[in-house]
Structure 1
Amino acid sequence: MRIDPAAVSAIVREVVDSEILPRFQRLEQSQIHTKSAPGDLVTEADLEAEAALSRRLTSLLPGSRVVGEEGVYRDAAVLEALRDRAPVWVIDPVDGTGNFVRGNPRFACIVALVQDGITRMGWIDSCVERETVLAVAGQGVYGPSGDRIHLHTSTPAPAPRLPGLCGQVGGQAIRRALKPCVRKVDWVGSAAQTYLDLLGGRIDFAAFSRLNVWDHAAGVLMVREAGGIAALGDRRPYSPLMRSEPSPLVLAPDPGMWDELAGRIEAAGADAPAAGMHPQ
């Protein structure tokens, strides 16, 4: 499988420019629909962008398949493609649809390439900023300027560090567990933007209770390629084959910080990591 990451970046940007940005802050009510719950939205931009990305990416890599958020909503059996040998494009056309609908620029387009249950490449396009971060397994993660990204701890090393940390989490149980012991815990409504904030050093950590593959396959690869720790609270490594898991996904720049965060989540009853083992 030979794919030029820059070619995929170009396709993503072209679809963002043709299907997503022209609809931003211009949506009519008839272009917004509810899926499983009142806050679970899909727009014409989501649907058209996923369709365009599916066509162009499968043409770029003949024999590949697609697992897209909107396609999975229509038919959950689509997820089984991840267990096949064929390469799979995992697509979240507009991550942060709620923000998109409200006119908030904190949304992004995510694409990952998965084969044999392993994320091989990943892209996050921060649409309004017109910036793309990409990662290739074993070769690093790169910012919009082409510079390699490395995660660095922004707080002093001596424990305990939790009182000085700022992070973003998805999930009320994790928020309740961490809010009393960190400086700030927030949520921006987009997993992609949280990954970009972590990679950009704007936050110290992140955690998620939901493991939708389109939200995390690309971002976890990026964090790992940047030298960070991305694992479930029970210390199992994240896999794009995971679906509903009792343990949250915890991300930090180093094992010490990860241990402190996972330990606090465990103490609050939101997870139960095993002792004496560092995740990879």
Structure 2
Amino acid sequence: MKLTVLVDNNTIIDRYFLGEPGVSYFIQDDNYNILFDTGYSDVFIKNAYKMNIDINNINSIVISHGHNDHTWGLPFLIKHYSESTRYNKPKLIAHPMTFLNKWVSDAEDIGSMVSEEKLKRHFEVNLSKNPVWLTDKVVFLGEIERKNDFENKLPIGKMEHSGGEIDDYVLDDSALVYRSAEGLVIITGCSHSGICNIIEYAKKVCSDDRIVDVIGSFHLLNPSREVITKTCEYMKQNNINKVHAGHCTDLKSKIELSKVTNIKEIGVGLTLEYI
């Protein structure tokens, strides 16, 4: 499996690509191509072009959750496909709540700009709470079980649901897992479900306790002392020896994580490969 970072908050030095506060990865498992999230704008398309990555040849698009920094690139992808003379009509996989309206206030809409109905005109849409296997080795986890007592305890704004509004605990937040020969490679968007919850559920779905790498955001932005302490304790107790934490993982949290695991730099242009 080969993963290339198309969008992250940071870029790799001497690799002159564009960055933005968002996530998009291009993942190849043999001849199967996956676009994981689309960032905030058309930056992922521009970076893919400079990297000689053919986004007309994508088999599946996976959306980690419905926030703007992961979905607002979708209108640009639709426009790109509409103007293209050739492209495979990809599958689009996400949680059923991903494309519902989400907001923090009347003035701050943080949900997808594209509705489920609109997406169905351009993609083969599969919205699932259950795990979905994209290949023999890559699985979309669906709705993450939330079992610990310290992660994801506060809502992020509101969401439209059943004709009304409810607090949004981002139940649509999911992740991908690659089953390598040495163990699991976990790929996250924002980890609103809790990075420890995600790892535990990945182990359950894949029946494997070995963790090779965790790539993406850990959603540790000025976390409470309890959250960062228990997260670090979990990493140490579960022998998670390497992580690539980016996007919405702040410097203080990275420093704390570095005390218990080998934390690697992540940014646009980074390529990672696993057998």
TM-score normalised to the size of structure 1?
0.25
Greater helix fraction, Structure 1 or Structure 2: 1
Higher strand share: 2
